[in-house]
A and B are shown apart, each in its own frame.
Chain A
Amino acid sequence: MNPQNLSIPILVPFLLALISFLLPSRIKWLRETVAVLGAAIIVYIAITFFGQKETFYTLPWLGHGIDFELRLYQFSQFILLALSGFVFLITLYSTVKMAGHSRVREYYGYIFLTAALAAGATLANNFVPLIFFWEGLLITLYALINLGGKNAHRTAVKSFIIGGFCDFCMILGIAILWSQTGTLRMSDISVLPQGLLAVSFFLMMIGAIGKAGAMPFHTWIPDAAIDAPVSVMALIPGALEKLLGIYLLVRITLDFYKLEINSPFCITLMIIGAATIVLAVFMALIQKDLKKLLSYHAVSQVGYMILGIGTAVPIGIIGGIFHMINNAIYKSGLFLAAGSVEHQTGTTELKKLGGLYRAMPFTALGFLICAAAISGIWPLNGFVSKEMIFHGSYETGYTIFTIAAWLGAILTFASFLKAGHAVFFGPRNPETPQVRENKSPIYVPILILAAICVVFGIYNWIPLKFFLEPILSGHLPAGETLNFSSHALALFNPIAMISMGCLLLGLGLHIYGFKRGGNKAYLVSEPIHHLPVLNTLYNWAEARVFDLYEQGIKFLQALSSFLFKFVDRPIDFFYERIVVSVGRACTGILKAAHNGYYANYLAWTIGGLVLIVWAIGALLR
């Protein structure tokens, strides 16, 4: 492939963004047509790029190792393809869902800008362009969240600050890495994390998992689920950020740093992963709003990926990456389904919904398949990737992480039983009578995503062989080959048996809760919600006690009011009163001295002359 073509996946969406910004808003169908066709072109480009040989492109830029370098290879091809696919599906979905939005012009512009920046971040082979694209995504995310409801701005700022903090850590880590290795070319870096490099590993890791939305950098996602347009949620926290964050995490753990199995770095990653799984799923369980519930799962699932990658054993890593793409697929599907329900009923509160499966059969079908996939039900894709992660974490010898992952599986299934039950089954809610299936641009993307869930589960050799195994191929000892597909769907081994047992437990929890909650599906999690210690913790969590951002804001507000009272005011007093009055006094003296009398001025002149002559004489001596 011609190296110069590497910039096409960045430039084409960028041009589309420009066109979207400039298209007059009067001609309605034109913008939607352009958007869908443009997204299709992006997908076409990504397909033509897939399977190409490794290609480098270097454009000299600032010198000192800061050049515009791109690299296309198996992994980035795969991410690029996935990104483009999501952009296409979301654009298609938006043609109906966003049609009535007052700022739809900006919406498409930012979506394509996001696509351009994400492609740039994927292809970058130099840390400086990477940071450029990475930071740009922060801005488009801010802009896209801002398109939402009336509280959107606050959430947008929150996402921006949290993202900014993570990116700052990453930049710091990159700076340390640069100072230690002397190069910014990503493909040249492969070091052992020792000394300062260990610090830089942690900092860059924060950047990667922060983008992916792991705890404790997740708190904006549940807020955004309420405030941001649902298609934005499906595209960005649902898919793009997982892809990019995990992509970078894999690059860090596989390429930039050589990690030993069960080294402190791996243990840290696994702890973060396990904690994210368990804590987020506990939060997800008690949510009473479909979008908010999904957003906590978006966080929880990241834990699986980080756990898998943190195991540093091949099956775990592949499982983590596989889970990344699987999660992006079904989580997008779920968000889109939630959006579809919202489009018809005007709400996503579980209490107000119910029995929609007849009215919205396609949405219900898509939702159920995706929910089954995220819960890890045999033989869907979620089952395969989760099994690989269970196996990987079990291989490290730290069974505790496997147990945490199983606990997550129980509660995930329980919470999706609740969500599915409350939305699509049970009695129809009288508040939402006029409900029918949406237009095809809304349910087709959901069904496509659901279909991929099925295909990737049953024919799991397709993604494993074409997408995933090539990624690890460069990192294996010579002669060893990978083949996961043979036992990927095997049910008869202890780990898979336990997983199935977990699902049964989840079902049991649901039935118990359903009985206790007076046959109201949205109340099934209440028994767990009201467990003695958990209840307190839940109350704290609802009060955002664990939200580092909110606590940080509180701390900063206290700090700034302290600084205002005890530092700023005194300084201000110094300037306002002391400096000004000294200035005034000097000015007053000078004004009084310049009284306009010639004799006075002449005396100054002569006096000055005498003084100067005396001074020169004294200085010459």
Chain B
Amino acid sequence: MIFLFIIVPLVLAALMPLLGKISKRFLPDLLANATMLFLLVFSVISAKPLIANGGVIQQAFWFGAPINIRLLLDGFSLFMLFTISLVSFAVTLYSIDYMEQYGAKANYYALLLLMIAGMNGLVLTSDLFNIYLFLEVAAVASYALVAFGQGHDELEASFKYLMLSAVASAFILLSIAIIFGLTGGLGFGAVASGLKTLNIKYVVGFCSGLFLMGFGLKTALVPFHTWLPDAHPSAPAPISAMLSGVLIKVSGVYAMMRIFLNVFGLTPALTTVLTVLGMASIFVGALAALGQKDIKRMLAYSSISQVGYVILGLGIGTPLGIIGGLFHLFNHALFKSLLFLNAGAVEQSTGTRSLDQMGGLAKRMPLTAATSAIGSLSIAGVPPLNGFWSKLLIIIALVQAKMHVLAFLAVLGSVITLWYYLVLQHNAFFGKLNDTWKSVKEAPFWMSAATVMLALLCIIIGLVFPMIIHSWLQPAADVLSSGVAVTLNFIGF
């Protein structure tokens, strides 16, 4: 059952280029969207009841013989699956109209589906090596997608991204090798129980450092963030949304937190390092975003800043902090993909990404302007939108953990966020309509449909957030806050 999450997108990714020979647009659009819708519905309707009594493990069989692939579905992974599916659905919906300009839709969908298969695999796997494996699957697809436009900047950004990611992957692999050497196992349960019997805290600390650098680079934590401001703006808008919305969280935050909290166990040292890195990301990202003239680059820096909040919340390690961090992860997936999609709509209509050249677009693109305003207010933490509640939870968790200085800084970071999003809104959408854009048109139907859906979700989730927390976040946070204990049950594997 759980295998469908990986197999369906993988098989379709393989079929897609062949289908492209038959139908250039219609079939790829239809199948990609159907797949995403299926995954979304599947994660809500079928997978949710499966984990009613805690995590489940499924063993892969090859012609009747068990092979060494086991998938683990628990609250945390299901939460991530749901987030991935939701954003991917919005993105494929948007791509129907947006990707017309690029051509080669079938190849595009193939790469997108491959990336989704990689991410789904990453969140479902139950051993360290498969984490590395799926990480690379998703990453390779994303290198290709960043370079999809094949212009100079795209290729340079993609290459830089590839070269830095390769370093990260190498260190991740090194760390996995050290752990395998020490414990003799790769499964989460085996590693956790192995480390428990050994007294090697410095080696574990070293490995933590390697993981932190490797996954931190995938997450774009400061100072490993340098690839992101180049790579995310260069990709086509839906891919920017995908990368900033979910990829950095799955391949970075998810992997890091799964290993640190459920396998290694969170130590005070790690908490300190994580919160400091989170705070550094918040400020470097926010202040760098403030100076950007390129709308997508500003959003990319903003992603660094917002992921800082996620890491900050999760790094505290208290149940409330974890809920806050996960909630912010989910919210950020929604509003950052919304904002990137809007930026794509603006770029498609005007042909520019420079905030200086825009102005007054609200008159010509009212839907885009409105949804963008909702996204901006939400990410800046204006009540009652969803971003407000998640930031509030993180700040409350910081206060409860007696980290008052960090709580203050988190609020300050939020103020800077509001600052540059007001700059964005003002320069792009408000004010006098620039004469150049007299004939600009609103985005096509499917693009608007995707952004309106995400904007509505931002509002609705802001209004009914206790329900979301109860049904989706609490099970995920329970897994993380129960720490190593939950993993030790899987020793048999």
Tell me the A residues contacting B by CB distance below 8 Å.
583-584, 586-588, 590-591, 594, 596, 598, 600-602, 604-609, 612-613, 615-617, 619-620
Contacts and interface: CB of A to CB of B under 8 A. Distances in A.
A609 B213 contact: yes
A297 to B, nearest CB: 52
Consensus secondary structure, chain B interface: helix
A594 B270 CA distance: 27
B205 A605 contact: no
A594 B205 contact: no
B272 A619 contact: yes
25 contacts: A583-B290, A583-B419, A586-B287, A587-B288, A587-B290, A587-B291, A590-B291, A591-B288, A598-B163, A598-B164, A601-B226, A602-B163, A605-B213, A608-B213, A612-B277, A613-B206, A615-B269, A616-B206, A616-B209, A616-B269, A617-B206, A619-B269, A619-B272, A620-B201, A620-B202
Given A604-B223, A607-B223, A619-B269, A590 B287 contact: yes
Contacts of A604: 223-224, 226
Contacts of A607: 223
- Among A586, A602, A613, A616, chain B packs the most CB atoms within 10 A around the CB of A616
Nearest to A586: B287
A273 to B, nearest CB: 49
Given A601-B226, A605-B223, A615 B288 contact: no
Contact of A615 (B216, B273, B416): B273
Given A598-B160, A619-B268, A605 B291 contact: no
B200 to A, nearest CB: 11
Nearest to B230: A596
Contacts of B291: 584, 587-588, 590-591
Contacts of B160: 598, 601
Contacts of A602: 163-164, 167
Contacts of A601: 160, 164, 226-227
Nearest to B289: A587
A584 B420 CA distance: 12
A596 B212 CA distance: 23
A609 B212 CA distance: 8
A616 B224 contact: no
Given A590-B287, A590-B288, A616-B269, 8 more contacts: A583-B416, A584-B290, A587-B290, A590-B291, A602-B164, A609-B209, A615-B269, A615-B273
Contacts of B171: 609
B127 to A, nearest CB: 24
Nearest to A617: B205
Contacts of B213: 605, 608-609, 612
Interface of B: 160, 163-164, 167-168, 171, 201-202, 205-206, 208-210, 212-213, 216-217, 223-224, 226-227, 229-230, 267-270, 272-273, 277, 284, 287-288, 290-291, 416, 419
Contacts of A586: 287
Contact of A617 (B167, B168, B202, B227): B202
Nearest to B283: A586
Contacts of B226: 594, 600-601, 604-605
B223 A608 contact: yes
A583 B287 contact: yes
B267 A620 contact: yes
Scoring A601, A605, A613 by chain B CB atoms within 10 A of each residue's CB, the highest score goes to A605
- The 9 lowest CB-CB distance pairs between A and B, nearest first, are A619-B269, A587-B291, A613-B209, A601-B226, A609-B213, A608-B223, A590-B288, A616-B205, A586-B287
Contacts of A590: 284, 287-288, 291
Contact of A605 (B217, B288, B416): B217
Given A594-B288, A607-B223, A612 B273 contact: yes
B210 A609 contact: yes
Contacts of B290: 583-584, 587
B287 A605 contact: no
B301 to A, nearest CB: 9
A612 B209 CA distance: 6
Contacts of A605: 164, 167-168, 213, 217, 223-224, 226
A541 to B, nearest CB: 49
Contacts of B217: 605
Contacts of B164: 598, 601-602, 605
A601 B162 CA distance: 13
A132 B208 CA distance: 61
B288 A616 contact: no
A265 to B, nearest CB: 45
A606 B217 CA distance: 11
Contacts of B230: 596
A591 B285 CA distance: 11
A605 B218 CA distance: 12
A613 B284 CA distance: 21
Contacts of B167: 602, 605-606
Contacts of B224: 604-605, 608
B398 to A, nearest CB: 19
Contacts of B205: 613, 616-617, 620
Contact of A616 (B216, B227, B270, B287): B270
A596 B228 CA distance: 11
Contacts of A600: 226
A552 B154 CA distance: 66
A586 B168 CA distance: 28
Contacts of B202: 617, 620
A605 B212 CA distance: 11
A621 to B, nearest CB: 9
A591 B288 CA distance: 7
Nearest to B205: A616
Nearest to B284: A590
A345 B191 CA distance: 101
Contacts of B416: 583
A617 to B, nearest CB: 6
A602 B166 CA distance: 11
A102 B164 CA distance: 74
Nearest to A596: B230
B209 A587 contact: no
Nearest to B222: A608
Nearest to B227: A601
B175 to A, nearest CB: 11
A589 to B, nearest CB: 9
Nearest to B221: A608
A616 B229 contact: no
Contacts of B269: 615-616, 619-620
B30 to A, nearest CB: 40
A73 B206 CA distance: 83
Contacts of B273: 612, 615-616, 619
Nearest to A590: B288
B168 to A, nearest CB: 8
Nearest to A598: B160
A598 B231 CA distance: 13
B208 A616 contact: yes
A601 B216 CA distance: 14
Contacts of B163: 598, 602
Nearest to B160: A598
A617 B269 CA distance: 8
A617 B270 CA distance: 10
A234 B167 CA distance: 86
Most buried by B among A587, A588, A604, A608: A608
B229 A594 contact: yes
A588 B223 CA distance: 17
A575 to B, nearest CB: 10
B413 to A, nearest CB: 12
A603 to B, nearest CB: 10
A584 B291 CA distance: 7
A613 B39 CA distance: 39
